[in-house]
């Protein structure tokens, strides 16, 4: 059983398109996150949801819109894709307590051409 | 703000060599500290953690001790294997609300036979 699953694993698309990445966790965690990992492996928080409520929204272009239909799902929709959006996007979840780490999905490699 | 500084990589070692990857942090309060590992093409996995000063986290032969006086959490392993080749991330999380994990920039380790 996959704890945090993301789909798709790979996504190649043209500039200007709109695309979505889905994430689901079966751990019963309250909090979910999206991170972006650039080509140098640097990880940057994008969004965090706790019990379907947005609690962290870093300086991310408003072309990126997260949606959480329930606490087990956090999807990421991206409008008008740009070349600079090419990266690996990781979904993660946690208990919401600070002494717990995160459980990560296996990532979605987005390539914008 | 909170931050984590890791030694620059890449680090290349021969099998059975001793490994140290340095990590220092800046944080308000008393954060929990983590090491994550990312194998090629995969998501991040929690390797070990420590939640208070002088705690030692350990897993798979890796160890790290939470040193409050030096604000450090260096990762060590006595004898590395080729299968340890991966990117290692130091991270912290502070106990104020639903704060996200803050990651260092990652250190790539290559172990050669």
pLDDT in tens, B75-105: 999 999 999 999 999 999 887 766 788 999 9
Band of pLDDT at residue A4, cut at 50, 70 and 90: very high
> Mean pLDDT across chain A, nearest whole number?
91
Determine the pLDDT at residue A63: 95
- Distance from the A40 Cα atom to the nearest Cα atom in chain B, whole angstroms: 8
How large is the average pLDDT for residues B106-113? 96
Burial group, residue A6, by CB count within 10 angstroms (0-12, 13-18, 19+): buried
Band of pLDDT at residue A57, cut at 50, 70 and 90: confident
Which chain A residue lies closest to B93 (C-alpha atoms)?
Answer: A98
CB < 8 Å to B91, chain A: 101
Band of pLDDT at residue A82, cut at 50, 70 and 90: very high
Which chain A residue lies closest to B95 (C-alpha atoms)?
Answer: A98
> Mean pLDDT across chain B, nearest whole number?
93
Percent over 90 (pLDDT), chain B? 80
Please tell me whether the peptide bond between B10 and the residue prior to it is cis, using omega within 30 degrees of 0: yes
CA distances to B14, B58, B79 from B84, in Å = 11, 15, 10
Determine the pLDDT at residue B90: 97
Determine the pLDDT at residue B95: 76
Determine the pLDDT at residue A40: 87
Determine the pLDDT at residue A100: 74
Q: Which tokens hold the place of A13?
A: 């698309």
- Distance from the A21 Cα atom to the nearest Cα atom in chain B, whole angstroms: 15
CA neighbours closer than 13 Å in the CB half-sphere of residue B26: 4
């Amino acid at each position: 059983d996959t704890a945090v699953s993301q789909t798709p694993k790979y996504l190649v698309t043209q500039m200007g398109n709109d695309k979505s990445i889905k994430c689901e966790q079966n751990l019963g965690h309250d909090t979910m996150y999206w991170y972006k990992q650039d080509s140098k492996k640097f990880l940057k928080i994008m969004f965090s949801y706790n019990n379907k409520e947005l609690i962290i929204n870093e300086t991310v272009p408003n072309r990126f819109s997260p949606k959480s239909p329930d606490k087990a799902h956090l999807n990421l929709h991206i409008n008008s894709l740009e070349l600079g959006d090419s990266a690996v996007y990781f979904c993660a979840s946690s208990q919401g307590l600070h002494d717990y780490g995160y459980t990560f999905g296996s990532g979605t490699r987005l390539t914008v051409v | 703000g909170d931050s984590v500084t890791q030694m620059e990589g890449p680090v290349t070692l021969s099998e059975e060599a001793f490994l140290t990857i340095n990590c220092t942090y800046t944080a308000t309060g008393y954060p929990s500290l983590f090491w994550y590992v990312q194998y090629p093409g995969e998501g991040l996995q929690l390797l070990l953690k420590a939640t208070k000063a002088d705690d030692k986290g350990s897993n798979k032969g890796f160890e790290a001790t939470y040193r409050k006086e030096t604000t450090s959490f260096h990762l060590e392993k006595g004898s590395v294997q080729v299968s340890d080749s991966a990117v290692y991330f130091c991270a912290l999380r502070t106990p104020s609300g639903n704060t996200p994990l803050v990651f260092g920039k990652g250190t790539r380790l290559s172990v050669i036979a």
